[in-house]
Every structure is written in structure tokens, then in C-alpha cells.
Amino acid sequence: QVQLVESGGGLLQAGGSLRLSCAASGSSFSIAIFAWYRQAPGKQREQVAFITSGGDTHYADSVKGRFTISTDNAGNTLYLQMNKLKLEDTAVYYCNADIQQDYGLGTRVFPSWGQGTHVTVSS
């Protein structure tokens, strides 16, 4: 089974910076799309950004120009560099990956989610 483990959340003041990390572990797998989502209290979960195995990136309008999504060279660790943080960035942040894994008879595809990490921005 592929596991996603997040880290890097915390409490900081508006205007500050924070970097989130998400490490994927397992065997015989690849990630087609790696993404960050967030969910604030009383709101639906929204996609913040994603990156494909080919390096294409996309950002929600609310974070464009402030956040940067990236992976390590192996494509197994996801990062989200968050700059100029705002109060409205306060949320639980989740990493998500579309996994392709060999199970012997063939391959299977499935989504995998991290446990979530809290980001709280204060004035």
C-alpha cells in the first residue's frame, strides 16, 4: 500500500512563509498527478495546486503568485512553498496522489490521501 505522510504545518502570522512536505512510500508505484487540497471550517475541500509527472503545474486563483508546488527529482516527495500567507489560507492541508501500482497480474490506479496538516494564519 502506498502511504502519504505530510509535515510542515504550523501557526504563523500573516505575511509569513511556510513549506509543507508530503512523502510517498511503497513499492512498484508511480504518481501521475500530485496535488495539494485544503479545507477550511465550514467550507468545501478545494484543490490548491497540482503537478503532473511531466512537470506541468496549476494553481487556484486564490494562491497564484504566492504558492509554489514542486517535487523532488524522484517524484516521491511533494512540496508546497507558501509565501505571503493570508488569514484566509487557514485550513487543513491534504496531499493527494493518483497512484499507479503493479499488483502482479496487472496494474491498478487509485487515489491516495495524506492525513492532513494544520496551517493557521493569525493577524
Going residue by residue through the chain, which has 123 residues, state the pLDDT in tens, using 9 for 90 and above: 899 999 999 999 999 999 999 999 998 899 999 999 999 999 999 999 999 999 999 999 999 999 999 999 888 999 999 999 999 999 999 999 999 998 889 999 999 999 999 999 999
Distance of CA 96 to the CA centre of its chain: 6
Distance CA 105, CA 117 (A): 35
Question: Cell numbers of 39, please?
Answer: 479545507
Distance CA 68, CA 61 (A): 13
